[in-house]
Amino acid sequence: MKILIKEGRVIDPANNIDKIADILISDGIIEKVSENITANDAEVINAKGKIVAPGLVDMHCHLREPGFEYKETIETGTQSAAMGGITSVACMPNTNPVTDNAAVVGFILAQAQKAGNVNVYPIGAISKGLNGQELSEMGELKKAGAVAVSDDGKPVQSAVLMRHAMEYAAMFDLPVISHCEEMSLVDDGYMNEGNMSTYLGLRGITRAAEEVMVSREIILAQTTNTPVHIAHVSTKGSVELVRHAKAQGVRVTCETCPHYFTLTDKAVDGFNTNAKMNPPLREQEDVDAVIAGIADGTIDAIATDHAPHHVDEKNCEFGYAANGIVGFETLLPLTVTYLVKTGKISINEAIKKMSVNPSGILKINKGTIKAGDAADIVIFDTENQYTIDVDKFVSKSKNSPYNGFEVYGKVEYTIVNGKIIVKQGRMSK
């Protein structure tokens, strides 16, 4: 089975390539990248005027299986990822049962294999049951296929447990991903503390809740001389802390999500539960700082924090509504529209943040399309505007604040291990 991608603009930042070229895929592997390739027996994709890039790698998502299949399954989640041009996802361990043991990792990998859409890399729990008390069996998790550890959503409150997690995980070369939230400072809040929370009479969450723990993780990483990755950075202060730490040589990396560079807490007006997420949407100066952090390299990666929820979990009082939004199918268009089209970063830089860098942090050998690599490729269009329609999402859930947004960056093809999963903007099967 051969596929020939003709005359696209091939952007492969890992190999310093940005040129019009053809790509020949043979048996799931990239055989050749060069001009004027011919192959009689190949399925030809005309990519003229389109961008051909390494498939996106989303290092932070929730596939909800096992345990919450009414929100999303590995099958629907990976379809949704493919529709977003994502060829590899790393899924968080807040499943039920929690992904804190080899058996659950094995189950996730088996379900992913069965679904056959995109590569799935489970993230194991830092603590057993995400309880923040005892370390999970990280060695076993790694052996079973986990690529990182995190207590995402239930941040480790004990500083000493986090210290031990960093030291122990480093021994197995497992990245530690920290969702930074000092719960006593959250103080039962559910949106950003600012003029909007006062205006809406909703309990606010101070930025300090995030920043205090970002500081803690940086200091612990420095103390233990181990790496740490900060999840979904949302505040100006967090960006500054990471920037400073990197300058000091601390082994810290971080990610943000499209909602932190496209929306502010004004989106909550009218008690819009689709604008409820954790960390909460902040204010314009935070958005500006996040964009600056992306542009100057402080922020290494853009992830989705894809967090599907059933409509009933959002169609309720704001305070009771579940946190999070679906993000797979809006990652690329929001990044293209709000960062590339606005001139904040180049398209090459955007691909680095969505593919090369997260692969590097997770050490999964993706984000590259040179001969010999597994053929994980996205082909997308940056020239034609289209309107986001949440009802057309293939994700099981539709909880997104972006319905009706006019964007650029429509995914046309997603190829995973040489298999065409998305064809002409639709699921191919």
Partner 1 sequence: MLKQRKDLLGLKDLSKEEIIHIINTAKEMKAVLGQDFKKTNHLQGKTVVSLFYENSTRTRLSFELAAKYMGANAANISASGSSIQKGETVIDTARTIDAMATDILIMRTNMSGAPHLIAPHVKASVINAGDGMNEHPTQALLDLYTMIEKRGDVSGFKVAIIGDVAHSRVARSNIYGLTKLGAKVYVAGPSTLMPYGIESLGATKCGSVGEAVADADVVMGLRLQLERQKRGLFPTIREYCNFFGIDDDCLKLAKKDALLMHPGPVNRGYELTSSVIDGKQSVIDEQVTNGVAIRMAIMYWLSQGGVI
Residues that bind partner 1 (CB under 8 A): 193-195, 197-204, 270-271, 312, 315-320
Q: Output 54 or 204, the one with its CB closest to partner 1.
A: 204
Q: Output 286 or 381, the one with its CB closest to partner 1.
A: 286
Give the C-alpha separation, 152 to 219, whole Å.
19
Does residue 268 come out as left (phi exceeding 0), alpha (psi in the -120 to 50 range) or beta? alpha
Are 121 and 145 contacting, i.e. CB atoms less than 8 angstroms apart? yes
For the CB of residue 70, give the shortest distance to partner 1 in the complex, in Å. 16
Q: Output 202 or 213, the one with its CB closest to partner 1.
A: 202
Q: Output 78 or 197, the one with its CB closest to partner 1.
A: 197
For the CB of residue 389, give the shortest distance to partner 1 in the complex, in Å. 22
DSSP structural state of residue 37: -
Cα distances (angstroms) measured from residue 143 to each of 106, 242, 360, 419: 10, 31, 19, 27
For the CB of residue 265, give the shortest distance to partner 1 in the complex, in Å. 11
For the CB of residue 266, give the shortest distance to partner 1 in the complex, in Å. 12
For the CB of residue 199, give the shortest distance to partner 1 in the complex, in Å. 7
Q: Output 93 or 204, the one with its CB closest to partner 1.
A: 204
Q: Output 190 or 393, the one with its CB closest to partner 1.
A: 190
Choice among 305, 373, 376, 381 that is catalytic: 305
Are 366 and 91 contacting, i.e. CB atoms less than 8 angstroms apart? no
C-alpha closest to that of 73 among 100, 98, 108, 104: 108
Give the C-alpha separation, 399 to 406, whole Å.
17
Q: Output 92 or 268, the one with its CB closest to partner 1.
A: 268
C-alpha closest to that of 271 among 193, 199, 188, 189: 199
CB 287: neighbour CB atoms within 10 A? Answer: 20
Q: Is 305 designated active site?
A: yes
Please, which residues have CB within 8 angstroms of residue 290's CB and are 6 or more apart in sequence? 233, 234, 236, 239, 256, 260, 261, 299
For the CB of residue 202, give the shortest distance to partner 1 in the complex, in Å. 5
Q: Output 155 or 204, the one with its CB closest to partner 1.
A: 204
Are 133 and 94 contacting, i.e. CB atoms less than 8 angstroms apart? no
Give the distance between the most distant pair of CA atoms in the chain.
66
**Which residues is 192 bridged to in the sheet?**
205
For the CB of residue 388, give the shortest distance to partner 1 in the complex, in Å. 23
Please, which residues have CB within 8 angstroms of residue 312's CB and are 6 or more apart in sequence? none
Please, which residues have CB within 8 angstroms of residue 295's CB and are 6 or more apart in sequence? 344, 345, 349
Here the tokens at position 137 are 């069996």
Q: Do the bridges between strand 406-407 and strand 386-387 make them parallel or antiparallel, or are there none, so unpaired?
A: antiparallel
Are 388 and 404 contacting, i.e. CB atoms less than 8 angstroms apart? yes
Alpha-carbon dihedral 166, 170, 174, 180, rounded to 10 degrees:
20
C-alpha closest to that of 14 among 58, 55, 61, 60: 55
For the CB of residue 201, give the shortest distance to partner 1 in the complex, in Å. 3
Catalytic residues: 305
